[in-house]
Amino acid sequence: MKLSAILFILVMQLQAFSQDKPAYKIFTGEGKKADYEDILKAATKSDVVFFGELHDNPIAHWLELEITKSLFAARGKDLILSAEMFETDNQILIDEYFAGIIKESSFETEVRLWKNYSTDYKPLLNFAKENGLKFVASNIPRRYAAVVASGGFEALQNINPEELKYIVPMPIEYDQELACYKEMLSMGSSIGGQMGGKVSENLPKAQAIKDATMAKSIVNNWQKGQILIHYNGSYHSDRHMGIIWYLNKYNPSIKSITLSTVLQDDIEKISDENKGLADFVIVIPSSMTKTYK
């Protein structure tokens, strides 16, 4: 073999080994390529930023923290953090922990923490605490979401009236034809059929009471001139439904942008099914490790 041919093969092999292996790519909802700065530019012009995460994805959680830091650098104390992962009846514990009234150990013992709290949500909470930012526990207490899942909205009439302060005021508007709820019932029915059971029509109602409570929490804590970043599972805000549908009911003047994280084998181009999920779609390799199983 000629020396020139050997050199050519070596160069090609070196190029193959030196190719970038990006952890994510960003696209607009229309499928055009975007970048981190595009997200920040849109976020700083909005009132509420919905970060739709994959709960077990490390890239999503890293970007949540990085975007939060960037928004703080741009807006300072006008930034509010808010999260699905903390429930409204735990707000007082967050406030007391931030104020130094209770110790971190007491806080973590009493709050109903998700199993990936220490790696994925604690950094966000601590960032807010260290920088004097408000952190909103936005979600309905899970026990009351379970009440709705088993008995519908009307079952909430049986709870202690004092507990109603932790839930969006009832009755709430509910559209069973909204795609996110209709699809949930369809997916649930498929699973239920495989297991020989029937899925109740109350399943999407439980999702709706979560969405409505989170939307109301956002409205109650946001003020004009502030930016609130809300961390939630992507299904709660994808296609501008879920939380955003209720947000538009409670305060249609609030301007929001949405981010969604998805997995694809090939991240160089957004798939057709992932177009339109959000204003910005963060595409992550399907092979990405998970923060928990």
- Provide the pLDDT for residue 293: 80
Chain Cα centroid distance, residue 174: 21
Examine residue 81 and state whether it is found in any structural domain, yes or no: yes
Confidence band (pLDDT; 50, 70, 90) for 234?
very high
Q: Is the pLDDT of residue 56 over 50?
A: yes
Residues in the chain: 293
Residue-by-residue DSSP string for 31-88: S-EE-HHHHHHHHTT-SEEEEEE-TT-HHHHHHHHHHHHHHHHHHGGGEEEEEEEEEG
Strands of 135-139's sheet in order across: 33-34, 25-28, 280-285, 256-264, 48-53, 227-233, 79-87, 135-139
Structure-model confidence comparison of residues 192 and 109, the more confident one? 109
- Provide the pLDDT for residue 191: 38
State the Cα–Cα distance between residues 196 and 282, nearest whole angstrom.
Answer: 37
Which amino acid is it at 196?
G
Confidence band (pLDDT; 50, 70, 90) for 16?
very low
Q: Is the pLDDT of residue 131 over 90?
A: yes
State the Cα–Cα distance between residues 132 and 96, nearest whole angstrom.
Answer: 13
Examine residue 251 and state whether it is found in any structural domain, yes or no: yes
- Provide the pLDDT for residue 7: 47
Examine residue 6 and state whether it is found in any structural domain, yes or no: no
- Provide the pLDDT for residue 218: 98
- Number of independent structural domains in the chain: 1
* Residue in the structure block whose two tokens are 């739709």: 52
Examine residue 9 and state whether it is found in any structural domain, yes or no: no
CB 49, CB 79: distance < 8 Å: no
pLDDT in tens, 173-226: 999 999 999 998 887 544 344 334 556 899 999 999 999 999 999 999 999 999
Q: Which residues contact 31 (CB under 8 A, 6 or more apart)?
A: 269, 270, 275
Q: Is the pLDDT of residue 5 over 70?
A: no
Tokens found for residue 253: 């003047």
Examine residue 292 and state whether it is found in any structural domain, yes or no: no
Report which of 271, 273, 199, 229 is spatially closest to residue 75, judged by C-alpha positions. 229
Cis bond before residue 171 (omega within 30° of 0): yes
Which residue range forms the structural domain that includes residue 241? 26-260+276-285
Specify the DSSP class assigned to residue 279.
Answer: S
Q: Is the pLDDT of residue 139 over 80?
A: yes
Q: What is the CATH number of the domain that holds 74?
A: 3.40.50.11550
Examine residue 182 and state whether it is found in any structural domain, yes or no: yes
Name the strand (E) or helix (H) holding 91.
Answer: helix 91-98
pTM for the predicted model, two decimal places: 0.90
DSSP β-bridge partners for residue 262:
283
Examine residue 94 and state whether it is found in any structural domain, yes or no: yes
State the Cα–Cα distance between residues 169 and 178, nearest whole angstrom.
Answer: 21
**What percent of the chain lies above the pLDDT cut of 90?**
86
Helix (H, G, I), strand (E, B) or coil at 246: helix
Examine residue 19 and state whether it is found in any structural domain, yes or no: no
